[in-house]
Structure 1
Amino acid sequence: MSIAANLQLIHQRIDAACRRAGRDPKSVRLLAVSKTKPAAMIEEAARAGQFLFGENYVQEFCAKAEVVQAPVEWHFIGALQSNKVKYLRGKVALIHSVDRLSLAQEISRQWQRLEKPANILLEVNLGAEASKAGSDAAGLAELAGQVSLLPGVRVRGLMAIPPWEADPEQVRPYFRRLRQLAAELAGQGLPNLEMAELSMGMSHDFEVAIEEGATLVRVGTAIFGERQR
Structure 2
Amino acid sequence: MSIAENLEKVRASIPDGVKLVAVSKTKPVEDIKEAYDLGIRDFGENKVQEFLTKYDNFGSDVRWHIIGHLQANKVKYIVGKVFLIHSLDSVKLLKELEKRYSKENLFADALIEINIGREESKSGILLENLDELLGECQRCSNVRVKGLMTVIPIGDEESNKKYFSQMKSLFEKLKGMKLKNVEMKYLSMGMTGDYKTAILEGANIVRIGQGIFGKRNYN
TM-score after normalising by structure 1 = 0.92
Deviation at 1:141, TM superposition (A): 2.6
Quote the residue 2:210 is aligned against.
221
Unpaired stretches in structure 2, ≥5 consecutive residues: none
Question: How far is 1:13 from its partner?
Answer: 1.2
Q: CA–CA distance in 2 between the matches of 1:37 and 1:70?
A: 20
1:42 to 21, 32, 45: 32
Task: Give SS of 2:98's match.
Answer: helix
1:185 Cα offset (Å): 1.5
Q: Would the aligned equivalents of 1:52 and 1:74 in 2 still touch at CA under 8 Å?
A: yes
Corresponding position of 2:124: 134
**What is the identity, as a one-letter code, of the residue corresponding to 2:13?**
R
Given residue 169 of structure 1, which amino acid in structure 2 is its aligned partner?
E
**Pair 178,10 (structure 1): closer, same or farther in 2 beyond 3 Å:** same
- What letter matches 1:206 in structure 2? Y
Per the TM alignment, residue 170 of structure 1 is displaced from its structure 2 partner at its CA by 2.2
1:57 alignment partner, one of 25, 47, 58: 47
> For residue 22 of structure 1, what is the aligned residue in structure 2?
none
Answer with 78-87 or 146-155: which moved more: 146-155
- Aligned residue pair count: 218
Secondary structure (helix, strand or coil) at the match of 1:67 reads: coil
1:24-55 deviation digits (Å, cap 9, x = unpaired):
x1x10000000000011100000011110000
1:186: which partner in 2?
A: 175
User: Residue 75 of structure 1 aligns to which amino acid in structure 2?
Assistant: H
Query: Distance in 1 between the 2:26 and 2:208 partners?
Result: 13
CA distance in 2, matches of 1:125, 1:39: 31
Aligned to 2:72: 82
Give, in whole Å, the separation in 2 of the partners of 1:183 and 1:139: 18
Of residues 154, 158, 169, the one that matches 1:169 is 158
Find the residue that maps to 2:13 and give its secondary structure: helix
Distance in 2 separating the partners of 1:43 and 1:210: 27
User: C-alpha displacement at 1:68, in angstroms?
Assistant: 3.2
Partner secondary structure for residue 85 of structure 1: helix
Structure 1 residue 67 displacement after superposition: 2.1
TM-aligned CA distance change 1:157 to 1:70, over 3 Å: closer
Identify the residue that residue 6 of structure 2 maps to in structure 1.
6
Superposition pairs of residues 67-106 of structure 1, within 5 angstroms? 67-69=57-59, 71-106=61-96
* Aligned-pair identity (%): 46
The CA deviation at 1:99 is 0.4
Distance in structure 1 (CA, Å) of the matches to 2:72 and 2:126: 20
Q: Secondary structure at the match of 1:194?
A: strand
AA aligned to 2:64 is W
CA offset at residue 86 of structure 1?
0.5
- Aligned residue for 1:187, secondary structure, equals helix
How far has the Cα of 1:69 moved from its partner? 4.8
TM-score, with structure 2 as normaliser: 0.96
Two-structure CA RMSD over aligned residues (Å): 1.2
Partner-residue secondary structure (3-state), 1:84: helix
Quote the Cα distance in structure 2 between the aligned partners of 1:154 and 1:86: 17
Structure 1: where are the runs of 5+ without partners? Answer: 16-24
Q: How far apart, in 1, do the equivalents of 2:121 and 2:194 lie? A: 20
Counterpart residue identity of residue 138, structure 2: S
C-alpha distance in 1, partners of 2:167/2:202? 9
Change (3 A) 1:96 1:137: same
